[in-house]
Chain A
Amino acid sequence: MLSNLRTMWLVFVHLFKKKATVQYPEEKNTLRPRWRGRIVLTKDPDGGERCVGCYLCAAACPVDCIALQATEDKDGRRYPEFFRINFSRCIFCGYCEEACPTYAIQLIPDFEMAEYNRQNLVFEKEDLLIDSQGKYPGYNFYKVAGMDAGVKKKGEGENEEPPVDIYSLLP
């Protein structure tokens, strides 16, 4: 009996405690930088698309919500012809971000993407591409890649030796 009364008193005291509720639309929770939210495609410092259409994100996706088709421009630079993410299937696991070799696909701290129409949750490339370098500023894949795709000549990259002349006999 006494313990019951004590319980009731302790619960009553909670009337004056700080409330745990966050009044969402007016008052927002702080989202950490590594929060896994909406997926974006970033650009390199020159403004070119980072995505090289390697399909690794689509392969890594456990719910198969990413669809893309790779193509090449006249310089030989690969880019996705279309890039489509169906956010009604996406589970925001972040595997695509981990799989991406060029830091192109990234998850950002934004979760407010409710829609009235389900079809509006299918994001095309123009919806996904943002004019930013995301979490890796200054990184440009084609600057460190060993190929010439109109960004730099072969062998001119950082830490890159000039290409070996395969027709010469000298080592």
Chain B
Amino acid sequence: MEVLFCISSLVAILSTVMVITRLNPVHALLYLVVSFMSVAMIFLSLGAPFMAVLEVIVYAGAIIVLFIFVTMMLNLGKETAEQERNWLKPRVWVGPSLLAAVLLAEMIILLTKGQPGSMQVTVVDPKKVALSLYGEYIIALELVGFLMIAGIVGAAHIGKHRKKTFHRFLEDEAETEQQLKADYHDVHTG
């Protein structure tokens, strides 16, 4: 399990770096999918199969598809790649990555200092997840539910459009018909 964990962590890190450095947004998103799947693998190796599968279903299977869906429609061409290249100058990324490297070094020191015993893997089955969600964390869950309802209502409101009773081809026809009716009325009363 430990070897699997190390390999999938390595894949996760590499693919995340690739996400940042890709110039084409769709390629970057593809690496993001790989990154999510390796995170799922990490969960699995840590003994949380339910979490792992949910990671794939929700993140890799639904959210990133929507991301790609949107990027696909934006028709990003060579200009965006050029823009990305301009933005990815060393002056932009050297500072943050140096600081992150310091943190990484600290973490490695801390990890090596601790006892090098094997990983403690306890399998968390779906029942345990459910019990903790609806027991310990019930308030957090309810709050998330509120947030999501707000999101859904907002989306429904934005997406709503008034339903027309006739087809758009018949729009002009209906108008002229009404006009004719009005004229007829005028002639016979006026």
Direct contact of A and B (CB under 8 A): no
